[in-house]
Structure 1
Amino acid sequence: MSTVEVLERHQVAIYLGGLGAGAAVGLAWPDAAGPLERAIYPALGALLYATFLQVPFTKVAAAFRDGRFLGTVLAVNFVVVPLVVAGLTAVVSLERAVLLGVLLTLLTPCIDYVIAFSGLAGGDSRRLVAAAPLLMLAQVLALPLLLWLFVGPELADVVEAGPFLEAFGLLVVLPLALAWATEALPAGAAVTRTASAAMVPLMALTLLVVVGSQVPALDGRYDEIAAVVPVYAAFLVVMALVGVAAVRLSGLEVAGGRALVFSGATRNSLVVLPLALALPAAYAVTPAVVVTQTLVELVGMLVYVRVVPRLVSEPGTPRR
């Protein structure tokens, strides 16, 4: 058995190890949070570069013409998700600063590591790559309006396009351009094979960096954290069911359906974190609320990688 096969067979255990190591580093060395936070974008960028190398440019170009998938992804994320969030936040009492953190994360669909996690579950990565620009543009336009509807016009003004555009450039455009340039190199095939072998370690490293950088921010805020964990967990459960229903209604095939489920469930917490950090002192708890969603989602994605292939499978395929 090759090294790549061993890594893939034990990938969930490796990812849990990355989560655990990150938590241990964050708790034991809180001062490491700053350097680790600065390493988030490079780690995510490397992971997405390796991910994009697995998706040839010709397939990505074809995915842009898949109107049914793109339309369904947009409908799930910007029509269904706000209704789900409205329902979840209506049944719990959250103070304004905590509610804002919940809304910032749950109303913004992920454009980065969703591609990697979906690919691990057999989802169609090329379609998610094609959907990323549309999802980014749509959330920049929709988030101020959605915040206005949820909490009033004064808080809609906290949303600026700058952090979104920076993340899009560093986490999508740059890795994608490098991947496509690599394809054209004589050694492109060899680089792609190496990147494929590095996928599992890169994911584990990303989990370590994200968790290690954010765990210290949770210190002393456990009451607020306890209030939002059930909301975030419930969102993952509800969106799994919503995603499966959307797959059936849209008639998407298995790979596209799995990608749709992941897109509906994963959120853009790492991109909106700079927005939360820039808020006034009255909203000092908001970044911790955003960070908590990251931690809950990372654990949830490890579950999704195992569960989604069972929920979205070919008719007659045995479910183990």
Structure 2
Amino acid sequence: MRDWLERRQITVYLGAIGLGIAAGSIAPDAAGPLEFAVTPVLAALIYTTFLQVPLADLRGAMRNRRFLGALLVANFIAVPLLVWLLFQMVPSRPAVQLGVLLVLLTPCIDYVVVFTHMGRGKARLVLAATPLLLVVQLFLLPFYLWLFLGPGMADLLRPGPFLSAFLWLIATPLILAWLTEFWAGRHASGEQFTAATAWAPVPLMALTLFLVIAAELPRIETALADVLGIVPVYIAYVLAAPIIGWAISRLAGLDYGAGRALVFSISTRNSLVVLPLALAAPFDGGLVAAIVVTQTCVELLAELAYIRLVPALVTERSTRQR
């Protein structure tokens, strides 16, 4: 079952996205319940992915200073410079600008682990770095908003959504995965359970894609003119980010597994976490949220390409030190 699903995962994901578009168009009133279901399903997806990632050497991953240094440079120096270039293409409407900055300046701390694993990168490195990414973006995002938009926008940042996402989408699945590994190491039933969940990430990812698209499509449709104008910016980001990540991984001398992890981190943004911030914006919160959600849709489609292209871009040969 696992092999069959992994061979056909792109078809499965595209089918889920198609069903999500159909559901969001036919039943827009269901957006609320569907959005509520995203977090528990995403948590289940991350939990099953953690079961496939060797967590025993997580402590060693946390001490990988070369990777962590490259990760910080990529996400908090290279990405803001790229965003500054792309920001010149963003319409001068404040709500649109705020939405773009909120989502592009914040590195993902949840499903990036899943995509890194699917893209054959060292997911445990990304997992180990999530607390650091969380803390640094909490401190730097107000500064970046002030730099791009002025002092008033920096006051929008609230730590609640970030901390809640870390608790429910990283800490809780990680603890459950550790407990499951402990169970599997001492009882045959635990080992059988772990083996039985090996097929779960692909259908759970498909369900996540369906829920996100179906729940957020009504927001996009209400601001379609603004959304269409910002899509080229997001496309430019998903094209440029992996190349920048690959270049930084080579300069840092990372091995190919760590290099792929870096590429996925720089390419994947924190859209589901910053969505509450967008909705709480003091002006045009619905439009700010629509701009954020649009990036989610573009990114999810890009991730389907990344899990095939990143292993080809970042190979053992391409990262071999001279």
Interval containing the TM-score (normalised by the shorter chain): over 0.9
1:158 corresponding residue in structure 2: 156
CA positional deviation for 1:220: 2.9
2:123 corresponding residue in structure 1: 125
* Match runs of 1:176-187 below 5 Å: 176-185=174-183, 186=187, 187=189
CA positional deviation for 1:189: 2.2
CA positional deviation for 1:280: 2.4
1:198-230 residue CA offsets vs partner (Å, 9 max, x unmatched): 111011011011111100111231110011111
CA contact (8 A) 2:67 2:254 kept: yes
Return the alpha-carbon distance in structure 2 between the equivalents of residues 228 and 160 of structure 1: 25
1:209 corresponding residue in structure 2: 211
* Match runs of 1:70-219 below 5 Å: 70-185=68-183, 186=187, 187-219=189-221
TM-score with structure 2 setting the length: 0.95
Q: 2:234 aligns with which of 232, 235, 259?
A: 232
CA positional deviation for 1:56: 2.7
Return the alpha-carbon distance in structure 2 between the equivalents of residues 67 and 171 of structure 1: 24
1:229-282 residue CA offsets vs partner (Å, 9 max, x unmatched): 111110111111101101110111111111100000100000000111112244
Q: 2:67 aligns with which of 62, 66, 69?
A: 69
Q: 1:312 aligns with which of 301, 308, 314?
A: 314
- Please, which runs of 5 or more residues in structure 1 have no aligned partner? none
Q: How many residues align?
A: 315
- CA 1:263 to 1:39, structure 2 compared with 1: closer, same or farther past 3 Å? same
Instruction: Give percent identity, aligned residues only.
Output: 50
CA positional deviation for 1:92: 3.7
Q: Cα RMSD over matched residues?
A: 1.3
2:305 corresponding residue in structure 1: 303
- 1:169 counterpart letter in structure 2: L
CA contact (8 A) 1:55 1:126 kept: yes
Return the alpha-carbon distance in structure 2 between the equivalents of residues 180 and 97 of structure 1: 42
2:225 corresponding residue in structure 1: 223
1:140-199 residue CA offsets vs partner (Å, 9 max, x unmatched): 111111101010110110000011101110000000011001111123322221221111
CA positional deviation for 1:316: 8.1
CA positional deviation for 1:4: 1.1
- CA 1:280 to 1:60, structure 2 compared with 1: closer, same or farther past 3 Å? same
Return the alpha-carbon distance in structure 2 between the equivalents of residues 71 and 51 of structure 1: 25
Return the alpha-carbon distance in structure 2 between the equivalents of residues 16 and 147 of structure 1: 35
- 1:258 counterpart letter in structure 2: R
Return the alpha-carbon distance in structure 2 between the equivalents of residues 182 and 27 of structure 1: 40
CA contact (8 A) 2:90 2:97 kept: no
1:52 corresponding residue in structure 2: 50
- Matched residue SS, 1:52: helix
Q: 2:22 aligns with which of 21, 24, 27?
A: 24
Return the alpha-carbon distance in structure 1 between the equivalents of residues 150 and 77 of structure 2: 19
CA contact (8 A) 2:89 2:233 kept: no
- Matched residue SS, 2:222: coil
CA positional deviation for 1:55: 1.9
1:74-133 residue CA offsets vs partner (Å, 9 max, x unmatched): 110011100000010123433111000000000000011111111111110111110111
TM-score with structure 1 setting the length: 0.96
CA contact (8 A) 2:80 2:105 kept: yes
1:254 corresponding residue in structure 2: 256
Q: 1:38 aligns with which of 36, 39, 48?
A: 36
